[in-house]
Amino acid sequence: MDPVTIVNTGSKAWQILDRGRGVLDVRSDHANALPEGVPFTKLSGWNRDPKVVRARYSSKWPLATELDIAWYWFFGGQVAKRGRYVNFATVLVTGMVGFNQKISVRLECSDPPMNAGKEEPIANLAMTVTLTHQLLRTKARAWGAQMQGDGEFRVTPI
């Protein structure tokens, strides 16, 4: 120890914290399920507000990570008052990632979308969301979801 040499310990502590900053990497896109060959301008009747379904992912050990996952889409579009279609379907992820942790979220949409209707077409867009959490070990979770043109939604852990 040398009382003559003066150092900035706060700066060194901040560098350690900054290097251990949590990382959230989200790769999401948007998709739609529309009638083939019909210009988007011919669709009408969309529900004015998007449908939003939320889930939470959290990990308390050793440092807290809290994420909100939201499936988000517009539904109800019709062609000549027929069918129910999906537009701008995506997954949004927000939250806090704990010290020295990395979280990756990936969205994959099925192609082509399905028709879940019987007498009237109801677009059904299937997607898979995969979340990978890295700290001392890597942990992965996945959900399969179906977003429909009538506003219905189903999610299943995979």
At 17 the pLDDT is 47
Element holding 18 (H helix, E strand)? helix 9-19
Rg of the Cα atoms in the chain: 22
At 6 the pLDDT is 72
pTM, 2 dp: 0.81
At 15 the pLDDT is 56
Name the E strands within the chain.
23-27, 31-33, 43-44, 51-59, 65-79, 82-96, 102-109, 114-115, 123-134, 138-148, 153-157
Q: If the chain, 158 residues long, is cut into consecutive pieces of 10 residues, what is the mean pLDDT of each piece?
A: 68 54 86 94 95 90 84 96 96 89 91 92 96 88 95 94
At 44 the pLDDT is 96
Q: Which residues pair with 31 in a beta bridge?
A: 89
Q: What is the DSSP letter of 108?
A: E
